[in-house]
Amino acid sequence: MSTLLFKNIGTLLSGDMERPIIKADSVLVRDGVIETIGNTDVAEVEVDKVVDLQGMTLAPGLIDGHVHPVLGDFTPRQKMSDFIDSSLHGGVTTMISAGEAHTPGRPKDPSGVKALAILAHKCSANQRPAGVKLHGGALILEKGLTESDFAEMAREGVWLVGEIGLGSVKDPQEAAQMVQWAHSHGMKVMMHTGGTSIPGSSVVTADDVISVGPDVASHVNGGPTAPPLAEIEKMAVQGKMAMEIVHCGNPKAADFAARLLNERGELHRITIGNDAPSGTGVIPLGILRVIAQLTSLSAIPAGQAVAMATGNTARLYGLNTGIIEPGREADFVILDAPMGSVGEDTIGALEAGDIPAVSMVVIDGKILVQPSRNTPPAKRKPVIIAG
């Protein structure tokens, strides 16, 4: 058994949209799982290792809900290695594939897309790139797939359908049938929205999304081209699906979507992703940048903006992470105001529009980053003490 105690937490962000800040200053982890959340009573427990946060912020590890990996930690889209490792240094501990669309020579026949989804799923499950919990193998829908194909993939562990619109299936009626098959086999489904992203993709309207019925409307602020604001409003009002905001999109449309759902009392529907690697590039701090944008420009409280990139996404995809509560996987990011920021702490920095300093990243109770190589240094430093 291994035990790890975080104490002297200045702000504890829960990842829960309904209760974004927890009034506690200590978190006890046992064997990679959160055991207890409390105050000085928890801090007095005998443990293997203590991390004194000196008043810094502890938040759930960030979840990138929209990534386009291939295999391992290499992207042919930008011809670079270690992009997942760089995201880890941006506080990302979990990634959700939206389809391995950039695989060189990607097959477009039913047997080929099945094989690719199964391969990518099993590779990411067998070896986490840089330690990040990458959920790979999101099926790209192509003509000719049958219900038995979905059953076969589900038996092999595939549980994600990538952005509808990237493959040859574009007709809403045909897509809706495949979504029903996917749902009947326990899969989560994403759907492209807005303008085209890569050659072969298509423009997708609000009516298309509503009629198909995916679990998430991907990049409602554009990937990279946004739909008209009226279309975003139509999806919000007439649809029930999650609405994803991405970094590689349109900031004006992101602001519109965030304010609209805030007014409707539906911030629980917003998830955050990068939508990278893409033509926009690889953005290791992209999730933090979206959080800062929504907090500083769209009047979303920092704790709730963080929940969009943690607990909201975890609940959508049924993951046992993303929220600070007993029984959850101990995936954390330790944050603080960066040196030179007008903010005194993480929340103050976000409200000012600054990217917080990532001082430490923890996955399953193991410290993998200390500190980040991609953010400015923090105003404070955690102190590690042997138990």
Tens digit of each residue's pLDDT (9 = 90 or more) over 223-270: 899 999 999 999 999 999 999 999 999 999 999 999 999 999 999 999
Is residue 20 assigned to a domain? yes
pLDDT of residue 338: 98
Q: So what's the pLDDT on residue 199?
A: 56
| Tokens matching residue 79 | 């011809």
Position 135 scores a pLDDT of 98
Flag whether 253 is in a domain: yes
DSSP string, 247-310: SSS-HHHHHHHHHHHHHTT-GGGEEEE--BSBTTB--TTHHHHHHHHHHHHS---HHHHHHHTT
Across 34-43, 105-114, 255-264, 295-304, least confident range: 34-43
Can you read off the two tokens belonging to residue 336? 């603080």
Q: What are phi and psi of 317, to 5 degrees?
A: -100, 5
Does the residue 291 lie in any domain? no
Computed over every residue of the chain, the mean pLDDT equals: 95
Same domain membership, residue 169 and residue 95: yes
- Report the pLDDT averaged over residues 143-172: 96
The tokens of 276 are what?
């990278």
Confidence of residue 387 (pLDDT cuts 50, 70, 90): low
Question: Considering the domain boundaries, does residue 310 fall inside one?
Answer: no
Same domain, 335 and 220: no
Residues 338, 208 share a domain: no
Structure tokens at 369: 């980053």
pLDDT for res 382: 96
Residue 9 covered by a domain: yes
Sort strands 332-336 and 357-363 into parallel, antiparallel or unpaired. Answer: antiparallel
Check whether residue 129 and residue 206 sit in a common domain: yes
Is the pLDDT score of 43 beyond 90? no
Residues 84 and 50 in one domain: no
Q: Which of 264, 284, 304 is at the close of a domain?
A: 284
Are residues 169 and 246 both part of a single domain?
Answer: yes
pLDDT of residue 189: 98
- Tell me: do 142 and 244 sit in the same domain: yes
The arrangement of strands across the sheet holding 383-386 comes to 33-38, 26-30, 3-7, 49-52, 383-386
CATH code where residue 123 lies: 3.20.20.140
For residue 101, what are the domain limits?
62-284
Q: Is the pLDDT of residue 201 over 80?
A: no
Same domain, residue pair 46 and 67: no
**Do both 358 and 276 map to the same domain?**
no
Are residues 210 and 242 both part of a single domain?
Answer: yes
pLDDT band for position 194 (cuts 50, 70, 90): confident
In a shared domain, residues 331 and 348: yes
Read off the pLDDT of residues 92-150 as tens digits, 9 standing for 90 and up: 999 999 999 999 999 999 999 999 999 999 999 999 999 999 999 999 999 999 999 99
